[in-house]
Structure 1
Amino acid sequence: MRERRSGLRRNMLQVLTPDEEERKLAKSRAKSKSAKVSQSHMGYNNNTSAVKVQNQPVNQKLQSPASSKGERLQSVQKRLENGTVFEYKALREKDDSRFGPVMMCAKSRKHREKKKEMLLEGSRLIKDAVEAGSVLKMLFFSRVEALEDLPMDTLKVPIYKVQHHSLKLWSDLVTPPGVMGIFQIPNQGEISMERTDVIPVTLVCDNIRDPGNLGTIIRVGAAVGCERILCTKGCVDIWEPKVLRSGAGCHFRVPIINNLEWETVVSYFPAESMVCLADVGKVRQSKDYRSRLRVEDLRKLLEQSTSKGALDQGTLQASEDFDMDSGSNNEKTLYRDRHTLALFKRLQLPSNVYHQVDFSRTSSVLVVSNESEGPSPQAKKAVFDNYGQAVVVPMAMNVESLNNSVATGVILFEIKRQLTVKDKIDVEN
C-alpha cells in the first residue's frame, strides 16, 4: 500500500484592483444572503444549531470589508515634536487591502496615465512637490518621525498609517523613508512655480530608457534653466517612481512635455535656432554648420553605402528624391518612412568640440540620445533639416563612452556660461 505523503502547501498571493475587490465582495455578500435565506426556509432559525452556526467567526468574513473598515477605522490625533497636530487613520495588517491596490495602480504606467496619479516617496520629494503647487491626494506613513519635515498643518488630505513591512513591500529603496504620497500628475508643460534665470535652450530627450539617466537629465535641465524639456515616445515614463526620485523634485521646476512624436517635437523648435546633437564621437568639422551642404552629404553617403551594398533600392530612390529645399510638405511621412530613416541612420553629421561652438548668437536646441544605441534616425533628420551639427565632448585615455546625463550637463553649462558672458559684455557696453 502506497504511503501518502503530507506536506505544507503555500497559498498563492492574489493582488486585486479596487474594481476586482468590489466584485469579489459583491459575490460574497450575495452568497451569504442566499445561505441565510435557505436556512430560514429549512426552519433552522428556531433551533440551537442555527444559533451556533450564526455565531461562528467564519460568517464574519462574509461581511463587506469596506463597511467593516469604515466602522473600525477611527481618527487618531498625533502631535509632532514641532507642535503640529494632525489626524490619521491606522490601517491594521488585515486592512492593508486599501493600501495595496493604490500602490499597484501608482506603479503601473497604464493606470498612471488613466488616473493621472503618481507616487512620490520620501519627505524631501513630497515637500518639494507640495511647495511647487502639486496636488496631494493621499498620504501613507509608517513612522511619525518621517512626517517632521512636512507641512502637516496645511495638508487637507486623507492620511493613513500602515504597517512598516507593508510599506517596505512597495518601496523601491532598501531602507524605506517611511512616507509615500499619491499626487495628481500636472498637465503637459505646466508648472506652478515662478521661474527665474531661464535661458533660451530647448532640451530634447531621444529614446532615453534608463530611469536614472532621464531623471538626472531633467535635474540638470532644471538647474541650468532650460526653457522646456521634450521627451519622445521612446523614453521611459517621466512619472515613473525611479525617474521622479532621480529628478529630486525638478519635475516641478521646468516645463516637461512627454510622449511626443518627432514631427511634433520639431514644431517646438524656435525659428532660426541652433539645433545640436550631443555626441561623444570623433570631430568632423565643417566650415559653416549652417551652410547648405546637406545634399552633398547625402550624395557622399549614397556613394559609400552603394559601394558596400548596404542600401536597398527603395532607400536609394529615397535619397535621390529627397529635396532639402522643398518646404518639407511631407514632413510626417518622412519621419516614418523606413527608406528615408535608413538613409539618415548612417548619416555622419558634421561636428565640433562643444566649447568651440558659439551658442550665444541665437536660441539653442540640444538633442540627447540613448547612451547605448546612439541617436535615432529621426533625431539625425531633425538636426540635418535645421542645418545642425553634432557637439562632441572630447575624452582622454581612449575612453569610448560617456554617460549621457554627464555629457548633457557639460554642454548645457557651457551654453549658460557663454550666454552669461554675452549678457555681461552687453551691460558693460
Structure 2
Amino acid sequence: MSCVISSLIKNALKSKVVVLQVRFYPRWSHRRPLKVYTPEEYEEMEKKPQGGNDESSIFDKYGGLRTSWNRAKNEKDTNKSVDYQIKPKKEKKPLIATKQKSEVKSSVDMLETVIDNEGNFIYTKMKNNDQRVSSILVEVKSKKEKQKKDLILLEGKRLIKDALQSGCSLKYILFSRKDEIEYLRPYLPKVGAQLYKMPYREMQIWSDLTTNPGVMGLFKIPPVENFEPPNPLPITVICDNIREPGNLGTVLRICAAVGCARVILTKGCVHLWDTKVLRSAVGAHFKLRIEQKKWDEIGDGVHPESHFFIADNRVVNDSEDNGEDLGELLGKIPILPYFGVDFRTCKHLVVVVGGETLGVSKNAYELALRSKGARLNIPLSNDVDSLNVGAALGIVTFEIKKQLLQINK
C-alpha cells in the first residue's frame, strides 16, 4: 500500500513540474541572443540600406507604425468602445563592443604606483569578466583606438624587457603569475604605470598567441626614428614593398644583429607595429633607428657619399609591363656577385631589398642609377629561383660586416 502511495506522489510531482514548465515557457520562449558588433562592423552595417522586401512588413513600409490593442488606463467602463491607439515601432539597437568604464576605482589605480618603498608590488586583482579588462584592452585591439592612442601590445617578458630597457613609456602590465612579474622587477618603473593581476583563462581570450605567456604590457609607441644605436656600422637598409609581416620582422631582426645604422620603410610596406611584425622581430624595434619615407624623400636623406646596392635576382623579359623601359634601365646598372665587391672602400652603404611578390620598385633602380649603384647577385644551385628576403639580406649584410671588421684588424 505504501509503495502505491509513493508512486502516486511521484507522478503528481512530475505532472506539477511539467505544468510549471509549460506555464513559464512564454516568458523566455521569445528571447533570442543578440550579436555584439565591434565599432568597425557597426559603421559598415549603418552604411548598408536597412530592411528589405522579404523581411519588412506592411507596418515597416508605412512609417514603422504598429497598432496597440490595449484599452486606455483611464477607461473604467468596459461597455464603451475600445479606443485603439497607433504607436510607433521601437527598433532594438544592436549591441556594440565599446570601452566600458569601471564604476569602482581604487586609490591604487589613481596613484599609479608600481613598487612601494618596501619593494612590494602594488597591483589590482581582477576576476573573470571584469569590466576593467575591456576598458584597457579595447584601446589597443580596436584599430581606431590604436591610431588615436598610439598604443602597442607586447606579450611575453622578453619583449616587455626590451621595451623597458629602451625607455618606452609603460601604461599597463597584465599578469597571471607573480613569477613573470618578478623577472621584470629590475626594469619596471616605480611609478607611472598600473599593474593588474587577472585569471589566465581571461588573458588567453584577449591574447593573439596560441599559448599566452602569462604577461602582457601596453606601451606608448616610441619615437624609433630618433633612436641612435651604439657603434653602428655605416649601413642603411631600405625595405621596398615588403608586405608580409613575418618577412619584415625577420629583416628588422637581421639589421639589429648586423648592427645597421638605420632602416627605411617605403610606403608599400606592412605596418611597422603590426602584431606579427613585433613577434618575428623579437625586440629589434627597440634597437634600431627606423624611419618611414617616400622615394622622393629618400634620395635627399641618405649620406651624400653613399654606394647603392640592390639585392635582386630579377630576370626581365619582354612580356613584363613596361618591359622595354625597365629593361633599358637595368641594362645600365651593373650586376655583380655579392662576394666579388670590395665593400671596404665604401664610406657608407645602402642596401635595397624588396618583397618576394612585387620585388624592387622602379624608383629604387632609378635612384641606384643616379648614385652609380649596382645590383648584387647571389648564385643559386638546383634550379632554385630566389631566396627569402630575410635570407638574402642576411647573406649580403654579414658579408659587408665581415669586410668592414677586417679594416680594424
Say whether the fold is shared (TM-score over 0.5): yes
Q: Which has the higher contact order (CA 8 A, sep 6+)?
A: 1
Q: How does 1:183-332 map to 2 (within 5 A)?
A: 183-191=219-227, 195-196=230-231, 198-258=232-292, 260-281=293-314
| SS at 2:344 equivalent | coil
Q: What SS is found at the alignment partner of 1:87?
A: coil
After TM superposition, the structure 1 = structure 2 runs for residues 60-139 of structure 1, keeping only pairs within 5 Å, are 66=101, 68-70=103-105, 85-96=120-131, 98-108=132-142, 110-139=144-173
**1:411 and 2:393 matched:** no
Structure 1: runs of 5+ lacking an equivalent: 21-64, 283-300, 316-341, 425-429
CA pair 119-346 structure 1, distance change in 2 beyond 3 A: farther
Are the aligned partners of 2:108 and 2:123 in contact in 1 as well (CA < 8 Å)?
no
- The structure richer in helix per residue is 1
Provide the C-alpha distance between the structure 2 equivalents of 1:269 and 1:215, rounded to a whole number of angstroms.
23
Answer yes or no: is the 8 Å Cα contact 2:241–2:359 preserved in 1: no
Q: Is contact 1:73–1:91 with CA below 8 Å preserved after alignment?
A: no
Residues 193-234 of structure 1: per-residue CA shift (max 9 Å, x gap): x613x1111110111111111111111111111111101111
Query: Which amino acid in the other structure matches residue 13 of structure 1?
Result: V
Q: Is the 8 A contact 1:278 1:408 kept in 2?
A: yes
Measured at CA, do residues 421 and 15 of structure 1 come closer, stay the same or move farther in structure 2, by a change above 3 Å? same
Aligned-pair CA distance for 1:309: 11
TM-score (norm 2): 0.69
- Map of 1:382-393 to 2, 5 A cutoff? 382-393=367-378
> Displacement, 1:108?
4.8
For these two proteins, the number of residue pairs brought into alignment is 315
Three-state SS of the structure 2 residue aligned to 1:69 is coil
CA contact (8 A) 1:138 1:181 kept: yes
Q: Distance in 2 between matches of 1:108 and 1:416?
A: 41
Partner of 2:15: none
Asked whether 1:379 is paired with 2:379, we answer no
Structure 1 length-normalised TM: 0.66
- Corresponding position of 1:400: 385
Deviation at 1:148, TM superposition (A): 2.7
Q: Residues 116 and 392 of structure 1: is their aligned pair in 2 closer, same or farther, counting only changes over 3 Å?
A: same
Q: Percent identity?
A: 36
Q: Secondary structure of the equivalent of 2:226?
A: coil
Measured in 2, the distance between the counterparts of 1:386 and 1:92 equals 61
**Does the 8 A contact of 1:278 with 1:368 survive in 2?**
yes
Deviation string 1:327-382 (CA, Å, 9 cap, x unpaired) is xxxxxxxxxxxxxxx93487434311111112111111000101122111222222
Tell me, in whole angstroms, the C-alpha distance in 2 between the residues paired with 1:190 and 1:224: 19
**If you compute each CA radius of gyration, which structure gives the higher value, 1 or 2?**
2
Cα distance change, pair 183–277 in 1 and its aligned pair in 2 (3 A): same
Partner Cα distance (2:308, 2:398) in 1: 16
Shift of residue 7, structure 1, vs aligned partner: 8.7
Cα shift readout 1:91-136 (whole Å, capped 9, x = no counterpart): 233323x323543432455543432221111101101111121111
Offset of residue 274 of structure 1: 1.0
SS in 2 for 1:227: strand
Q: Indicate the SS of the match to 1:195.
A: coil
